[in-house]
Structure 1
Amino acid sequence: MSSWKPITLNELEKDIWLSEQALEGPTLKLWELLKVKPTKWKCPPLGDEGGGFWVVALAGNKVIWYNDIEEGFNISNYRSFGEIEEYYTNQLELFELINSIESELHRNS
């Protein structure tokens, strides 16, 4: 039996708030455009035990979600709304991931 417990919505919202404090300018504006109310999405089979993973932002066919097994934020594709297509084990803070996305947008513009 594992001792892992899924993150609660309150704990996740605290992590999001802390990351928001580290964002500013265009990066904060990008986050404001992408963020959604945290919602659990399926990601079988690894997400099954915790009832899915919390998705916190959407951008086209991509989701930003919190992997509470690995304790970090990830970005993955999705085809069906409500189901994360790819499981990743990144252990990024949300502000690090948003900064990375914003930097990538500048490189590609």
Structure 2
Amino acid sequence: MNWRPISLKELNNIIETSVTVMDTEVLCFWNSIKIVPEKRQVPSYSNEDYFWIVGKIKNYIIYYNDIEEGFNISLENNLSHIEVTSSEQDELHFALIKLLKNYEI
């Protein structure tokens, strides 16, 4: 089976599914940080790989790693790429809870 990048439509479907299970606190937080998804380069993979950033707050971003099929948290840098990548396979609401509970935002 060959990997192919996720489409914006597929990403939006994943986000919509996750929103349905969010409690009030997480949903309010999500609504305050979500952005129109934008692709960012991931230098730690290759020059041709991009992940979708879906949320921003202060100097943190939430992005979807479609190779690992999960949402992750990273610091945002001034360059137009994702600086630190991880391979968590979190659903969106779990990544949001981690951001709320474990980061100084």
Q: TM-score, normalised by structure 1?
A: 0.85
Of structures 1 and 2, the larger Rg is shown by 1
Give the distance between the partners of 1:90 and 1:33, measured in 2 at CA: 23
Q: Which has the higher strand share?
A: 2
- Specify which of 73, 77, 80 is matched with residue 78 of structure 2: 80
Alignment of 1:54-69 (within 5 A): 54-69=52-67
Report the number of matched residues. Answer: 104
Give the corresponding residue for 1:34.
33
Give structure 1 stretches of 5+ with no counterpart.
Answer: none
User: 4+ runs of 1 displaced by more than 6 Å?
Assistant: none
CA distance in 1, matches of 2:82, 2:98: 20
Structure 2 residue matching 1:98: 3-state secondary structure: helix
**Alpha-carbon distance in structure 2 between the residues aligned to 1:89 and 1:104:** 17
How much identity, in percent, do the aligned residues show? 35
The normalised TM-score by structure 2 is 0.88
Mapped to 2, the partners of 1:47 and 1:57 lie a distance apart of 23
Task: Determine the C-alpha separation between the residues in 2 that align with 1:79 and 1:102.
Answer: 20
Q: Which sits farther off after the overlay, 79-88 or 31-40?
A: 79-88
Structure 2 gap ranges (5+): none
